[in-house]
C-alpha cells in the first residue's frame, strides 16, 4: 500500500485520512461503522503495522482509543456525527485527562442527511468539550491536517476532533502522499493517577490545566498557517471553513477570504485583523451559526444566517443567490416516479416486514437496512429514532398504555444495532417486566454501511476468526426466558411464531436469522432463480406486495388479458427478472396459486 | 486556460456508476487536468437513484455541480437522465442508456413508467445520445460492460485523446479488459 514519497494519488477524503493516519505513525485505530466515516478504517486495515478494529459502538471505540493513547500510541478513532453522541461520555472527560500518544477523533457530519436521521452540527461538541477541532476542505488538506492534528494532540496534551462532512469524506481529488513517521512518545505503561484517575480532587486540578491549555490553543490558532487570509476585493470579506470555503471560492472568487482550517478555538486576533481590513464581514458556514455566534460574541459586526440557510448542504449557487441575489433560470423538473432505495432481492428483512405489514401492531424500528421497511409497499414501521432505540421505545409505549398493549407492540432491531446499544434496553425490559416482543434481525453483519463485521459475525476487521456472540444465550442471560429462532425466508412459519409470541405474557425475543445477500459467502453461492408461470398467475399481487426489485407488475388491458387466455377483468400479471432474482423463495411462499417455481436449467 | 466542464453521472444504485466515473476521472487527470469527484454512499446505494459529480478544469474548487451547470449528463437508466433536468443547460449533452429499470412504484403497479420520457429533453432542444448499453454489453460478451459503452459515448466530447482512455482502462480494469474496450469503442462510435 505504501507509495513513494511526494507522489500524487487520487483519493477520497476517507482514503486520505487513512493514508494520513498511517503516515502519522498511528498504531491503533478503533471505530464503529457509520456513513460517511466507514471507509476510513476499511482503508486503514490495508496498511501494515496498524492494529484496526470494529468496536461494538462509538463509546467503546473512543475508550479503546483513550487507553491506547494512555499507553503512548498514536491513535485514530472514527465515527459518524450521531456516533459522537454515544461517545460523548468519554469525550468530555478525555478532555480532562488529555493523552500521552496523539489521539485524533474523526467525526463525520452529514449535512442534508444523505444517510442519517439528523443533521446535527458537531462543531458544537468542540466548544462544549473544550477540545480543538480541525476541519479540512478537501482530501489534500485532510491528509496534511490530520498529521498536524497528531502533533497538536501531543504538544498540548489534548484529544483532537477532526470534522469531515459527506462532501469531504466521499469526494475524490489529487493528494500528495508522504512516508510514515512514527510519533515521539515511548509506548509503555506510565502510571500517572493525577492525570488518569478522574476523581473530583484530581479532576479539579485537571480542569485548571484545561484553562491554561485553552489559552495556549487560542494562541496556536492565531499562528496556525491553515487559518489564512486571502486578500481580494475589500468590499466583501467572507469568513468560512470546510467545504463551504470551496463553494464560496466558486461563487465569489474575487472576495476577500478568511479561511478557517480550525473550527475551534477560533483565532480571535486573526479574525479582528481580517474584519478591520474589509468593509463588510459575512460568515458562510453549513448548518449552525457556529462561527457567527462566537464571532459576534467577540463584538465584531458581521452577518451570516440571516442570509445563508442553516439547514441542508450549501453549494455555490445557494451562496451566490444569498449574497448577490443572482440566480440563473433553470429547467423545471419533469414529473416522474421517485426512486427511493430498496432492500436487495433476496434480503431476509423483506420477509419479516411483509409479515409485520399483515399484523395490527406498532412496529418500533431501528437503524439499519431494515429501516427501509418503512417504505411502501411494506410500510411497516411506526417509529425510528437512533441506534438501539427500538427496544426502549417499545418498553415505554407498553408501560404508558398498560393493559395488554404488549400484544400489539414489536421492536425490530438488527444484530449489529442490538450489540451496539440494544442489549441494555433488553435487560431493562426483562428487569422491569414488559411483555412486548423483540425481533432481532440477525443477518450476521453490519449491512447498511457495507458489510462490516460485528461481535456476532465470527470475524474481525483484520480478517481473523473471532468468537461469535451467541445471541440466544445472550438474551437468556439478561433474563429473557422465551427466545425463539426462525428462518425469516419461511414467511408462514415466521408469522406463526410472531403471533404466538405477541400473545405471550412475558418478554420474548424472536431471532430472525438469515445472512445478508451481500456478504462474500452469499455472493458466491449458486443461485437458482425463480420464474412465474403466466398461465397460473391470477394477478392477485400477493408477491408484488413484497416490494422485491426482481418482481414487477405487468398491467394488462381487457383485450390483452383475453389474448393471454385470462379473464378480461384480470388487471395484470407478475414477472420475475431472472437477472435480479436471488432465489430466496419468499414470493413462492406467498403465492397461493403455485405459479412460482425454479427456472429450469438448460 | 485549460478546458473545464462538469459531468453528472446518474443511475440506479448497483449499476457501476462509480467505476465509470472513476475511469473518466483518471483519463481527465492523465490529460493534465485538475478534477474533483463527489459520490454518495450508504443508504441511497440500495437500488435508489444515485448520482456522481465529476468536475474538471485548471483548478477545481467546489466538488458539486450547481443546478444549470452540468455540461454532460451520463445516465445509466433512461428516467434517471431526465430526473436531473434542473442541472442541465441548453447546450448540455446527454448520453443515455436506453435500458429501463422500474422504480418501486412502477414495479408494484402504483405508477406507470413515463412513456417517451426522453422527449422532455428533446423538446427543450437538449442534445440526447441514446446508447443501448445492454445490447452493446451482450454483443461484446460481457454483460457488465454497459457502463464502459456509456463512458465511450461520453469520451468523444471530452478534451482527452482516445489513447488515454484506453491506457487508463488497461491500468484500472481488473478483468474482461478486451470486452470492456470493445464496449467503450462501440459507445464512442455513436457520438463520433
The answer to whether residues B24 and B47 touch, using CB atoms and an 8 Å cutoff, is no
Q: Are residues A257 and A272 part of one domain?
A: yes
**d(C-alpha A591, C-alpha A576), whole Å:** 13
pLDDT surpassing 80 at residue A602: no
A350-361, pLDDT tens digit by residue? 999 999 999 999
Q: Which residues of A touch B125 (CB under 8 A)?
A: none
Confirm whether A74 is domain-assigned.
Answer: yes
Select the residue of A334, A336, A339 nearest B12 (Cβ to Cβ).
Answer: A339
Quote the number of domains for chain A.
Answer: 4
Confirm or reject contact between A372 and chain B (CB < 8 A).
yes
3-state helix/strand/coil string of A31-52: ECCCCCCCHHHHHHCCCCCCEE
Residues A545, A560, A536, CA angle at the centre, nearest 5°?
50
Give percent of chain A above pLDDT 70: 99
- What would the mean pLDDT of A19-32 be, rounded to a whole number? 98
CATH number of the domain that residue A563 is part of: 3.30.70.20
Task: Count the neighbouring beta carbons within 10 Å of the beta carbon of residue B102.
Answer: 22
Q: Are residues A309 and A242 part of one domain?
A: yes
Looking at CA atoms only, how far is residue B166 from chain A in angstroms? 19
pLDDT surpassing 80 at residue A587: yes
Confirm whether A587 is domain-assigned.
Answer: yes
Give the pLDDT band of residue A5 (cuts 50, 70, 90): low
Looking at CA atoms only, how far is residue B182 from chain A in angstroms? 23
- Tally C-beta pairs within 8 A across A and B: 178
Quote the pLDDT of residue A406. Answer: 87
Domain boundary among A500, A523, A546: A523
Backbone angles phi, psi at A213, to 5 degrees: -60, -40
Quote the number of domains for chain B.
Answer: 1
Domain boundary among A195, A223, A251: A223
**d(C-alpha A493, C-alpha A487), whole Å:** 8
CATH number of the domain that residue B40 is part of: 3.40.920.10
Quote the pLDDT of residue B42. Answer: 65
- What would the mean pLDDT of B115-140 be, rounded to a whole number? 97
Beta bridge partners of A531: A597
Q: Are residues A71 and A41 part of one domain?
A: yes
Are A555 and B112 inside 8 Å of each other by CB? yes
Quote the pLDDT of residue A1. Answer: 43
Quote the pLDDT of residue A2. Answer: 45
Give the pLDDT band of residue A227 (cuts 50, 70, 90): very high
Are B37 and A249 inside 8 Å of each other by CB? no
A528-539, pLDDT tens digit by residue? 999 999 999 999
**d(C-alpha A353, C-alpha B65), whole Å:** 38
Q: Are residues A376 and A298 part of one domain?
A: no
The average confidence (pLDDT) of chain A is 96
The answer to whether residues A135 and A263 touch, using CB atoms and an 8 Å cutoff, is yes
The boundaries of the domain holding residue B184 are 5-191
A408-433, pLDDT tens digit by residue? 999 999 999 999 999 999 999 999 99
CATH number of the domain that residue A515 is part of: 3.40.50.970
DSSP class per residue in A411-455: EEEEHHHIIIIIHHHHHHHHHTT---EEEEEE-SSBTTTT-B--T
Beta bridge partners of A410: A363, A437
Looking at CA atoms only, how far is residue A314 from chain B in angstroms? 10
Are A316 and B64 inside 8 Å of each other by CB? yes
**d(C-alpha A134, C-alpha A121), whole Å:** 14
Task: Count the neighbouring beta carbons within 10 Å of the beta carbon of residue A428.
Answer: 18
Helix (H, G, I), strand (E, B) or coil at B50: strand
Q: Are residues A308 and A183 part of one domain?
A: no
Are A342 and B48 inside 8 Å of each other by CB? yes
- Secondary element (H or E) of residue A401: helix A389-401
The answer to whether residues A412 and A378 touch, using CB atoms and an 8 Å cutoff, is no
Confirm whether A330 is domain-assigned.
Answer: no
pLDDT surpassing 90 at residue B47: no
Q: Are residues A199 and A235 part of one domain?
A: no
Least-confidence region, from A79-93, A165-179, B31-45, B115-129: B31-45
**d(C-alpha A64, C-alpha A18), whole Å:** 18
Burial B132-152 (b: 16+ CB within 10 A, else e): bbbebbeebebeebbbbbbbb
Give the single-character DSSP code of A383.
B
Quote the pLDDT of residue A247. Answer: 98
Identify whether A462 is preceded by a cis peptide bond (ω within 30 of 0).
no
Looking at CA atoms only, how far is residue B163 from chain A in angstroms? 20
Quote the pLDDT of residue B40. Answer: 80
Are A166 and B40 inside 8 Å of each other by CB? yes
Q: Are residues A274 and A138 part of one domain?
A: no
Quote the pLDDT of residue B15. Answer: 86
Q: Are residues A147 and A41 part of one domain?
A: yes
Quote the pLDDT of residue A166. Answer: 97
Q: Are residues A214 and A73 part of one domain?
A: yes
Q: B147: which residues sit within 8 A by CB, 6+ positions away? A: B15, B16, B17, B19, B20, B76, B133
Select the residue of A170, A332, A376 nearest B40 (Cβ to Cβ).
Answer: A170
Give the pLDDT band of residue A223 (cuts 50, 70, 90): very high
CATH number of the domain that residue A239 is part of: 3.40.50.920
Quote the pLDDT of residue A35. Answer: 95
A356-382, pLDDT tens digit by residue? 999 999 999 999 999 999 999 999 999
- What would the mean pLDDT of A173-183 be, rounded to a whole number? 97
The average confidence (pLDDT) of chain B is 95
The boundaries of the domain holding residue A165 are 8-223
- What would the mean pLDDT of A106-122 be, rounded to a whole number? 97
The set of cell numbers assigned to A221 is 490558532
Please give the torsion angle defined by the CA atoms of residues A25, A31, A33 and A39, in that order, rounded to the nearest 10 degrees: 0
Considering only alpha carbons, which residue of chain B is nearest residue A577? B101
pLDDT surpassing 90 at residue A125: yes
Give the pLDDT band of residue B43 (cuts 50, 70, 90): low
Give the pLDDT band of residue B191 (cuts 50, 70, 90): very high
Quote the pLDDT of residue B45. Answer: 62
Q: Which of residues 42-61 of A touch B (CB under 8 A)?
A: none
Looking at CA atoms only, how far is residue B156 from chain A in angstroms? 23
Are A339 and B46 inside 8 Å of each other by CB? no
Q: Which of residues 35-64 of B touch A (CB under 8 A)?
A: 35-49, 60-64
Segments in A118-241 forming alpha helices (H): 123-129, 139-155, 166-169, 193-196, 200-223
Q: Are residues A232 and A91 part of one domain?
A: no
Domain boundary among A203, A223, A243: A223
**d(C-alpha A324, C-alpha A121), whole Å:** 26
- What would the mean pLDDT of A436-461 be, rounded to a whole number? 96
CA distances from A416 to A39, A55, A56, A449, B3 (A): 17, 10, 8, 11, 48
Q: Are residues A180 and A284 part of one domain?
A: no
Backbone angles phi, psi at A418, to 5 degrees: -60, -45
The answer to whether residues A275 and A302 touch, using CB atoms and an 8 Å cutoff, is yes
Quote the pLDDT of residue A3. Answer: 47
Considering only alpha carbons, which residue of chain A is nearest residue B35? A173
Strands B70-75 and B34-38: unpaired
Q: Which of residues 76-95 of B touch A (CB under 8 A)?
A: 79-80, 82-83, 85-86, 88
- What would the mean pLDDT of A98-103 be, rounded to a whole number? 98
Looking at CA atoms only, how far is residue B190 from chain A in angstroms? 26
Q: Are residues A57 and A192 part of one domain?
A: yes
Amino acid at each position: 500500500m505504501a507509495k513513494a514519497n511526494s507522489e500524487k494519488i487520487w483519493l477520497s477524503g476517507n482514503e486520505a485520512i487513512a493514508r494520513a493516519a498511517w503516515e502519522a505513525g498511528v498504531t491503533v485505530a478503533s471505530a464503529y461503522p457509520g456513513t460517511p466515516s466507514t471507509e476510513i478504517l476499511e482503508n486503514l486495515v490495508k496498511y501494515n503495522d496498524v492494529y484496526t478494529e470494529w468496536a461494538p459502538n462509538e463509546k467503546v471505540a473512543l475508550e479503546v482509543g483513550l487507553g491506547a493513547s494512555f499507553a503512548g500510541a498514536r491513535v485514530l478513532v472514527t465515527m459518524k456525527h450521531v456516533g459522537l453522541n454515544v461517545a460523548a461520555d468519554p469525550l468530555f472527560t478525555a478532555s480532562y485527562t488529555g493523552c500521552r500518544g496523539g489521539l485524533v477523533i474523526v467525526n463525520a457530519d452529514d449535512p442534508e442527511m444523505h444517510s442519517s436521521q439528523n443533521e446535527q452540527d458537531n462543531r458544537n461538541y468542540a466548544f462544549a468539550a473544550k477540545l480543538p477541532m480541525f476541519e479540512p476542505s478537501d482530501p489534500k488538506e485532510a491528509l496534511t491536517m490530520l498529521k498536524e492534528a497528531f502533533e497538536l494532540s501531543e504538544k498540548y496534551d489534548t484529544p483532537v476532533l477532526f470534522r469531515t462532512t459527506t462532501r469531504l469524506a466521499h469526494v475524490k481529488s489529487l493528494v500528495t502522499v508522504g512516508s510514515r513517521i512514527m510519533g515521539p512518545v515511548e509506548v509503555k505503561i506510565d502510571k500517572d493517577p493525577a492525570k488518569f484517575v478522574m476523581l473530583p480532587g484530581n479532576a479539579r486540578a485537571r480542569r485548571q490545566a484545561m484553562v491554561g491549555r485553552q489559552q495556549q490553543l487560542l494562541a496556536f490558532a492565531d499562528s496556525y498557517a491553515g487559518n489564512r487570509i486571502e486578500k481580494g476585493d475589500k468590499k466583501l470579506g467572507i469568513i468560512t471553513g470546510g467545504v463551504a470555503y470551496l463553494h464560496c471560492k466558486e461563487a465569489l472568487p474575487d472576495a476577500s477570504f478568511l479561511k478557517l482550517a480550525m473550527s475551534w478555538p477560533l483565532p480571535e486576533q486573526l479574525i479582528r485583523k481580517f474584519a478591520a481590513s474589509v468593509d463588510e464581514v459575512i460568515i458562510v458556514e453549513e448548518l449552525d451559526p457556529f462561527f457567527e455566534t462566537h464571532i459576534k460574541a467577540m463584538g465584531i459586526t458581521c452577518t451570516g444566517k440571516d442570509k445563508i440557510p442553516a439547514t441542508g448542504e450549501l453549494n455555490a449557487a445557494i451562496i451566490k443567490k444569498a449574497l448577490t441575489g443572482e440566480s440563473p433560470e433553470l429547467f423545471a423538473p419533469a414529473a416522474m416516479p421517485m426512486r427511493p432505495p430498496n432492500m436487495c432481492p433476496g434480503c431476509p428483512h423483506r420477509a419479516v416486514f411483509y409479515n409485520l405489514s399483515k399484523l395490527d401492531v406498532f412496529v418500533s424500528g431501528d437503524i439499519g437496512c431494515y429501516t427501509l421497511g418503512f417504505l411502501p409497499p411494506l410500510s411497516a414501521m411506526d417509529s425510528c429514532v437512533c441506534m438501539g432505540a427500538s427496544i426502549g421505545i417499545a418498553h415505554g409505549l407498553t408501560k404508558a398504555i398498560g393493559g395488554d398493549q404488549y400484544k400489539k407492540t414489536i421492536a425490530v432491531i438488527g444484530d449489529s444495532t442490538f450489540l451496539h446499544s440494544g442489549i441494555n434496553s433488553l435487560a431493562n425490559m426483562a428487569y422491569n417486566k414488559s411483555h412486548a416482543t423483540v425481533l432481532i434481525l440477525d443477518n450476521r453483519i453490519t449491512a447498511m454501511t457495507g458489510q462490516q463485521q460485528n461481535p456476532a459475525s465470527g470475524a474481525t476487521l483484520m480478517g481473523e476468526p473471532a468468537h461469535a456472540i451467541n445471541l440466544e444465550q445472550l438474551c437468556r442471560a439478561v433474563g429473557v426466558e422465551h427466545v425463539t429462532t426462525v428462518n425469516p425466508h419461511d414467511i408462514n412459519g415466521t408469522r406463526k411464531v410472531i403471533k404466538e409470541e405477541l400473545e405471550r405474557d412475558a418478554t420474548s425475543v424472536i431471532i430472525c436469522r438469515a445472512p445478508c445477500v451481500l456478504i462474500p459467502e452469499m455472493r458466491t453461492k449458486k443461485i437458482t432463480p425463480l420464474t412465474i408461470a403466466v398461465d397460473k398467475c391470477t394477478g392477485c399481487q400477493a408477491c408484488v406486495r413484497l416490494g422485491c426489485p426482481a418482481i414487477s407488475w405487468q398491467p394488462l388491458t381487457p383485450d390483452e388479458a383475453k389474448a393471454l387466455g385470462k379473464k378480461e377483468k384480470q388487471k395484470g400479471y407478475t414477472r420475475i427478472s431472472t437477472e435480479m432474482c436471488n432465489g430466496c423463495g419468499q414470493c413462492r411462499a406467498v403465492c397461493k396459486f403455485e405459479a412460482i417455481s425454479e427456472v429450469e436449467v438448460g | 486556460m485549460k478546458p473545464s466542464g462538469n459531468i453528472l453521472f446518474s443511475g440506479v444504485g448497483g449499476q457501476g456508476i462509480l467505476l465509470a466515473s472513476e475511469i473518466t476521472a483518471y483519463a481527465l487527470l492523465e490529460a493534465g487536468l485538475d478534477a474533483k469527484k463527489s459520490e454518495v454512499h450508504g443508504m441511497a446505494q440500495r437500488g435508489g437513484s444515485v448520482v456522481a459529480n465529476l468536475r474538471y478544469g485548471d483548478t477545481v474548487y467546489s466538488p458539486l455541480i450547481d443546478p444549470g451547470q452540468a455540461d454532460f449528463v451520463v445516465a445509466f437508466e433512461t428516467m434517471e437522465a431526465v430526473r436531473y433536468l434542473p442541472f442541465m443547460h441548453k447546450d448540455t449533452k446527454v448520453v443515455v442508456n436506453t435500458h429501463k429499470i422500474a422504480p418501486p412504484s412502477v414495479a408494484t403497479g402504483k405508477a406507470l413508467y413515463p412513456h417517451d420520457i426522453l422527449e422532455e429533453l428533446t423538446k427543450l432542444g437538449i442534445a440526447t445520445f441514446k446508447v443501448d448499453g445492454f445490447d452493446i454489453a451482450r454483443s461484446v460478451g460481457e454483460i457488465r460492460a454497459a457502463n464502459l459503452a456509456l463512458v465511450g459515448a461520453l469520451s468523444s466530447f471530452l478534451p482527452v485523446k482516445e489513447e488515454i482512455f484506453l491506457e487508463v482502462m488497461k491500468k484500472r480494469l481488473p478483468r474482461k479488459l478486451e470486452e470492456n474496450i470493445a464496449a467503450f469503442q462501440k459507445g464512442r462510435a455513436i457520438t463520433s
